[in-house]
Amino acid sequence: MTRPLDLPTSFADRVCVTDPDIIDPYCNDWTGRVIGTTDLLLRPGTHHEVAQLVQAARQHRATLLVQGGNTSLAGGSVPLAHEILLTTERLDTIAVDPASMTATVGAGVTLARLQSEIARYGFSFGVDIASRGSATLGGMTATNAGGIHVLRYGPMADNVVNLSCVFGDGSTIERRDTLLKDATGPSLQRLLIGSEGIFGVITSVTLRLQATSQHRSVAITPLESIDEGVAISTLLRGKLASVNAIEYLGPEAIALSPSNPPWERGAGGALLIEVLETTSSLVDTLDNLSLDREWVLADTTQAIHGLWSWREDIAMWVARVGKPLKLDLAVPINRIGDLYRQAQMVAQDARIQCVCFGHLGDGNLHINLVGDDHSLETSSRAIYQAAVDLGGTISAEHGIGTLKKGVLPLMRSASERHRLSQLIELFNPGRVVNPNVMLDPSQGGGYERS
């Protein structure tokens, strides 16, 4: 049973929702695998209201779980421990500052809304992810989201100028200035980037924007093997300054498409590249690099969208097969073929489905496993271990959430986890905000980093 907050009536009327029919959809995650429950949904509309709610939660010994767009693939956005759910959806202001090329946005603004708002100024935002219609800038900051343009612009950490937050102890920082430089000591706000809400609630973020490039082209080429994709990626990145994205589509992912691709299928799947130049100059470059291969090219907005949908729709096709367990691994790029093959072997042995795609240019492979729960559990452990043994990470961009807490010790030593729990105690004593995310209070067990 969720603890009540006993708020003044007019405030409660404005922010509290108790109707289960409204609350229920907020409790299911995007994959349908993780289902939480709560009796109370809070919808604050300002930084001040968030601060009031955190204070009330402290007073009543209640716990809060913050939710942005609920697109977490790590089980971090739904209330699994009966927390009160605090959605940021009403923190929805956008202020663009053309002079500094920044935008200060409420935590609940979706990426798609930001993109359309700043397009009016001729600007774009460096981080782009397929869940843009729902994912919020607060959630993306909290998870240090990466996405398709990390090669060029880095993850959220490289694109956040400043932020406002309410820490779990009730203290707040409000920074809406647009300074691109500020050397006044360590930034406490930066601690919140990638923190998945364990220190508190991000209420707004100021983001660095880019001038939109005049030209953009996309090309796809079939592969005989994923290693061939790595070789092409290495060549392109070393020679072509305008590379914007290098993405991988596994053969088993393409096979899930309801239609035939506009390229000859290759045994190793396909490679998608996006560059910020015209198609004719891209063709010249590919010729000069003696990349003697077939490319399907696109330069109009519609055609570019068409080619990208082959990559971005894979998650939807996988969801039609079953409720996937999503692993989000990164390894040094020259080991990505090894990771791919090991994952397929593990899945084959366990007789489960394994569908791979991802951001090949940054060595980030999304491995989607579909099968019975027991096989998923044992196979995922083997694949996490394989990634770490290859010099990689158990989470490249989705975060730890609740699903990967047990494997965090593969990446973070006991001493690092202890330091992290001390920081949580400092900023969010008693773990009022996001008590169940990233680290259990009694973290132990799991697998120790050797």
Ligand X SMILES: Cc1cc2nc3c(=O)[nH]c(=O)nc-3n(C[C@H](O)[C@H](O)[C@H](O)COP(=O)(O)OP(=O)(O)OC[C@H]3O[C@@H](n4cnc5c(N)ncnc54)[C@H](O)[C@@H]3O)c2cc1C
**Interacting residue ranges for ligand X, rule: CB under 6 A:** 30, 65-73, 76-77, 88, 107, 129-131, 134-136, 138-140, 142-143, 145-147, 196-197, 201-202, 315, 397-398, 401, 434, 437
Q: Tell me how far apart the alpha carbons of residues 411 and 419 are, in angstroms, rounded to a whole number.
A: 14
Query: Residues 247, 231: contact at Cβ < 8 Å?
Result: no
Minimum Å gap between C-beta 432 and ligand X is 13
DSSP label at residue 23: H
Please identify, using beta-carbon distances, which residue of 139 and 361 lies nearer to ligand X.
139
Please identify, using beta-carbon distances, which residue of 203 and 380 lies nearer to ligand X.
203
Minimum Å gap between C-beta 141 and ligand X is 7
C-alpha distances (whole Å) from 7 to each of 12, 168, 264 are 6, 18, 62
Output b/e per residue, 161-170; b: 16+ Cβ within 10 A: bbbbbbbbbb
Minimum Å gap between C-beta 150 and ligand X is 8
| C-beta pairs of 251-258 under 8 Å, 24+ apart in sequence | 252/353, 252/354, 252/355, 252/356, 253/314, 253/317, 253/318, 253/355, 253/356, 253/357, 254/310, 256/314, 256/317, 256/318, 256/320, 256/321, 256/355, 257/310, 257/313, 257/317, 258/317
Phi and psi, residue 251, nearest 5°? -60, -35
Please identify, using beta-carbon distances, which residue of 72 and 217 lies nearer to ligand X.
72
Q: Which residue is nearest to ligand X (CB)?
A: 139
Closest residue by Cα to residue 408 from 447, 352, 366:
447
Minimum Å gap between C-beta 169 and ligand X is 15
Count how many Cα atoms sit within 13 Å of the Cα of residue 180 in the half-sphere of its side chain: 10
Minimum Å gap between C-beta 362 and ligand X is 10
Q: Tell me how far apart the alpha carbons of residues 423 and 194 are, in angstroms, rounded to a whole number.
A: 14
Q: How far is CA 387 from the centre of its chain?
A: 19
Minimum Å gap between C-beta 135 and ligand X is 4
Minimum Å gap between C-beta 216 and ligand X is 18
Please identify, using beta-carbon distances, which residue of 299 and 322 lies nearer to ligand X.
322
Closest residue by Cα to residue 12 from 42, 38, 39, 48:
42
Minimum Å gap between C-beta 290 and ligand X is 32
Phi-psi region of 173 (alpha: psi -120 to 50; beta: other; left: phi over 0): beta
C-alpha distances (whole Å) from 100 to each of 103, 124, 161, 211 are 9, 14, 11, 12
Please identify, using beta-carbon distances, which residue of 8 and 133 lies nearer to ligand X.
133
Minimum Å gap between C-beta 121 and ligand X is 23
Please identify, using beta-carbon distances, which residue of 117 and 389 lies nearer to ligand X.
117
Dihedral sign (CA 23, 142, 162, 123): negative
Closest residue by Cα to residue 245 from 339, 135, 362:
362
Please identify, using beta-carbon distances, which residue of 135 and 243 lies nearer to ligand X.
135
Please identify, using beta-carbon distances, which residue of 64 and 350 lies nearer to ligand X.
64
Please identify, using beta-carbon distances, which residue of 135 and 223 lies nearer to ligand X.
135
Minimum Å gap between C-beta 33 and ligand X is 12
Please identify, using beta-carbon distances, which residue of 110 and 342 lies nearer to ligand X.
110
Ranges of H-type helices in 39-161: 47-59, 111-119, 137-143, 150-153
